[in-house]
Amino acid sequence: MAHSKALLVLENFIGGKFVPCSSYIDSYNPSTGDVYCRVPDSGKEEVEAAVKAAKDAFPIWSSKSPLERSQILNKLADLIEHDLEAFAQAESKDQGKTITFARTVDIPRAVHNFRFFASSILHHVTECTEMPAMGCVHYTSRAPVGVAGLISPWNLPLYLLTWKIAPAIACGNTVVAKPSEMTSVTAWMMCQLLEKAGVPPGVVNVVFGTGAKAGEALVCHPEVPLISFTGSTLTAQRITERSAPHCKRLSLELGGKNPAIIFDDADLSQCIPTTVRSSFANQGEICLCTSRIFVQRGIYSEFLKRFVAEAKKWKTGNPSDPTSDVGALISKEHLEKVRTYVKKAQAEGARVLCGEGVDPLALPPGNQKGYFMLPTVIAEVKDESCCMQEEIFGPVTCVVAFDTEEEVIRRANGVKYGLAATVWSSNVGRVHRVAHRLQSGLVWTNCWLVRDLNLPFGGMKASGIGREGAKDSYEFFTEVKTITIKH
């Protein structure tokens, strides 16, 4: 393909320097369908150089005090915040998400990730027990592990990359990170700020490229004892297999097929706008998005009418337009995949109430070739349908009726995933009862996506292994040792 000279060309960041690569991959602007950036197609050689740089930087970085590392993380947070608008524009263009979402969610959260771990690293305490009869004292100490391999996805690029980099380096590890090849620009921009923030060369290395080449090389590297991955369950199976011979420690945050359970005593004035948001925010491309909505039969028809009316108010259009609610999906292939699910639902006899194939999609002239899709609501879907079992990861949600609490818990749990769930009811006893019985790592009641980063984040079943958060990330990114002293 012929490339104009105006294309942005990214470079790997290894040992504190930008390093050109011998081959590149095209990266598309999802809102126009045009190639606008070239991303290094890194492999074994580049990963090898990055791991060496990380290993060389480890002794000095790991010997710094938590306070010294904390000050550097805070400085990096300040620098990203100073350039927030440039980061937001880049994230929106590269990923297809609306500029409003990038400005209010992605980049502020990336800043907060560094500040949060800069603070939390100062407050951990280790354990100590005494055995007076034996004349012994036991205590634990924690130390950084070494080089951490961090692989982040395309849906919340800088947000989820920094959610891994921040705790890894706060704990004294050095890192080799591989962002998604589809959304690499903000990671590259962050690398430009590392030196100014005081991050020593080699502490943070970023290697761009595909999972099959760069990701594989990182996962298979014998000198990378930790792998933290956010992405699909299928890729996680591959990572588990490839890392098994090396006994690596894995943190895997995977997909979800998240239910919302709406009882007939729910406050619909709160529930409907929030459930529209939980279904369609970021084009439905968030692992925590709601894709199965169970509504108690008594309010089912009223809910459906109001929910569809609210979903139709969401404006799909140019991501750089601040009034757009829904941007473009990540790629042409992904858009096709999401559309296929809607077609399958129709073929099975379900009703598409709004969105794909039902309502006209009007786009500005410059966005006609972009990967857009309207918020789509499907009703009367069978529980065993692929639309109710598989993660679609787009602006599609299914609404079905239920009768009893017992029945809805069974149906909500009837998928292979277990990441998040939402429960809507004004009955406190019921809210607690249902929350305890849902097979879900996170349960929100009468709200969605309210996060306290101190608490564990992660899923059950096929939604992952391990948890992330202040304590969980600290434990993952450190090695614990029990020391016994006889006096």
Query: Listing from the earlier edge strand, what are the strands of the sheet with 174-178?
Result: 17-19, 12-14, 204-206, 174-178, 147-151, 226-230, 249-253, 464-465
Gap between the Cα atoms of 252 and 94, Å rounded: 25
The verdict on whether 216 is a catalytic residue reads no
Q: Which of 11, 91, 216, 253 is catalytic?
A: 253
Is the separation of the CB atoms in 424 and 262 below 8 Å? yes
Residue 214: helix, strand or coil by DSSP?
helix
Residue 149: helix, strand or coil by DSSP?
strand
- The DSSP symbol for 213 reads I
Gap between the Cα atoms of 473 and 265, Å rounded: 38
In what helix (H) or strand (E) does residue 88 lie, and over which residues does it extend? helix 84-95
Neighbours of 364 (CB within 10 A): 11
- The DSSP symbol for 442 reads E
Q: How does strand 376-379 pair with strand 351-354?
A: antiparallel
Kindly give, in sequence order, each residue whose CB lies less than 8 Å from that of residue 124, ignoring residues fewer than 6 positions away: 142, 471, 474
Gap between the Cα atoms of 180 and 219, Å rounded: 15
Catalytic (active-site) positions: 253
